[in-house]
Amino acid sequence: MEEKISIRDNALWIRMPKEMDHHMAASIRVKADEKMMQDSVRDVVFDFTDTEFMDSSGIGVIVGRYKKMDCLGGKVFAIHASKRIKQILYLAGLDRLVEIAD
Amino acid sequence: MKNEMKLEFSACSVNEGLARIAVAAFMAGMNPTLEEVEDVKTAVSEAVTNCIIHGYGMPEEETDEMQYQMPDTVADGGAAERKDGASGETEKLQYHQKEKNEVETQQGKVYIICRIHHHILDVEIRDYGVGIADIAKAMEPLYTTKPEQERSGMGFAFMEAFMDELLVESRPGEGTCVKMKKYVQSSFGKREPV
C-alpha cells in the first residue's frame, strides 16, 4: 500500500484522506510533523486526489503546516483538488498562502 | 412534502461522518443538486464538530489503527505493573470499570432534528455542553478558542456561507443549538422561498 505521507524530492507529500474532517485531522497532523522532524523538508504538498469531502478542520491542518514551513522559508502546495475542495480553499482565503495547482 | 428525522449520538469524532451522511440521505427525497448536498454536509460537519470539541470539550482522538486498541493497551499496562498474580484480574476489571464510567460520564450526546417543508430543509444541531458566552465573538471568522488544536476559526463562517439561514442559540452551562435552513431550489424549480 502506498504511504499516505512520504518524502519526495525534499518535499513532504501528504495524501489527504477521502473525508478530511476533524476526526482525521489529529492523526494527519501528528504523522506529518513526525516526518517533518525526521527528514529535511523544503516544501509541503497536499494531494487531494482521494478527497471527496473537506471542512474547516482540513483548513486548520493546511494552515498549521503552512505556519511551520513559512518559518523555514518553504512553500505549500495543494494539488488535484476537485471543484468543491477548491471552493473551500478559496472561501478560507488559502489561495493567499498556498499555491493551488492541478 | 413534509418529513422529519431525529438523530442522537455520542459526542465523539467518529460520528461526524455519520451525522453528515444521515442528513444528506434524509434530504435526498428533495431531489437536491450535488452542490446543495455538499453544502449541507459541510455545514452539518462544522456544527457537529463544534458540539464535540467546544460543547463537550472532547479530547482529540488519534484515528486509524490507534483508537480501537485502547482497551488492550490498558490491559497490558495493568498486567505489567501488577506484582501479585492473584488479585491482578480483579484489579484489572475494576480499572476497566473505572475507565468505562469515566468515559460514559464525560461523553455527552449530540442531537439533530431535520425537517423538510416544501423545498426548505431545516436542520437543528444541539448539545448540552458548556455553551457560548459571546455568540457574536464566536461567530467571527478566524476566531477560535482552540488554536492549539489548529482549529481554523472558520466553522460558523462556513455554515453561513453554505446555508441560507443560520441562527445560534446558546447559554453558558446549558448548551448550544444551531438552527440552519437550506432552500433546495432544484426541488421546486426556481421558486422563491416562502
* pLDDT digits 0-9 by tens, B24-56: 999 999 999 999 999 999 999 999 999 999 999
Half-sphere exposure of A93 (CA within 13 A, CB side): 6
CATH value at residue B147: 3.30.565.10
CATH value at residue A23: 3.30.750.24
As a three-state string, the secondary structure of chain A is CCCCEEEECCEEEEECCCEECHHHHHHHHHHHHHHHHHCCCCEEEEECCCCCEECHHHHHHHHHHHHHHHHHCCCEEEECCCHHHHHHHHHCCHHHCCEEEC
Q: What is the ipTM of this complex?
A: 0.92
Contacts of B52 in chain A (CB under 8 A): 22
CA A98 centroid distance within chain: 9
Please report whether residue B90 resides in a domain: no
Cβ proximity of A58 and A27 under 8 Å: no
B151 is catalytic: yes
Q: Count structural domains, chain A.
A: 1
In tens, the pLDDT along B118-177 reads 999 999 999 999 999 999 999 999 999 998 888 999 999 999 999 999 999 999 999 999
Compute the distance between CA of residue B174 and CA of residue B193 in angstroms, rounded to an integer. Answer: 33
pLDDT tops 70 at residue A37: yes
Please report whether residue B105 resides in a domain: no
Radius of gyration (C-alpha) of chain A in whole angstroms: 12
pLDDT tops 90 at residue B189: no
Compute the distance between CA of residue B123 and CA of residue B37 in angstroms, rounded to an integer. Answer: 13
- For residues A35-57, average pLDDT: 92
Q: Count structural domains, chain B.
A: 1
Question: Nine-digit cell at B50?
Answer: 463544534
Return the higher-pLDDT residue of B185 and B22: B22
Interface contact B158-A64, CB threshold 8 A: no
Q: Which position among B91, B115, B151, B160 bears the catalytic label?
A: B151
Cβ proximity of B120 and B183 under 8 Å: yes
- For residues B56-72, average pLDDT: 57
The whole domain housing A28 covers 5-101
pLDDT attached to residue B88: 59
Q: Which position among B46, B124, B150, B169 bears the catalytic label?
A: B46
Contacts of B14 in chain A (CB under 8 A): 23
* CB-defined contacts A:B, below 8 A: 75
Nearest residue to B45 (alpha-carbon basis) of A74, A61, A55: A55
Using pLDDT thresholds of 50, 70 and 90, give the confidence band for residue A50. very high
Paired residues of B167 in beta bridges: B179
Contacts of A16 in chain B (CB under 8 A): none
Q: Where are the beta strands (DSSP E) in B2-50?
A: 2-10
In tens, the pLDDT along A8-25 reads 888 999 999 999 999 999
pLDDT attached to residue A70: 85
pLDDT tops 80 at residue B98: no
Alpha helices in B123-191 (DSSP H): 135-139, 155-162
Compute the distance between CA of residue B138 and CA of residue B152 in angstroms, rounded to an integer. Answer: 12
In tens, the pLDDT along B132-143 reads 999 999 999 999
pLDDT attached to residue A39: 74
Compute the distance between CA of residue B170 and CA of residue B179 in angstroms, rounded to an integer. Answer: 11
- For residues B71-84, average pLDDT: 41
pLDDT attached to residue A11: 92
Return the higher-pLDDT residue of A85 and B88: A85
The whole domain housing B41 covers 2-61+110-190
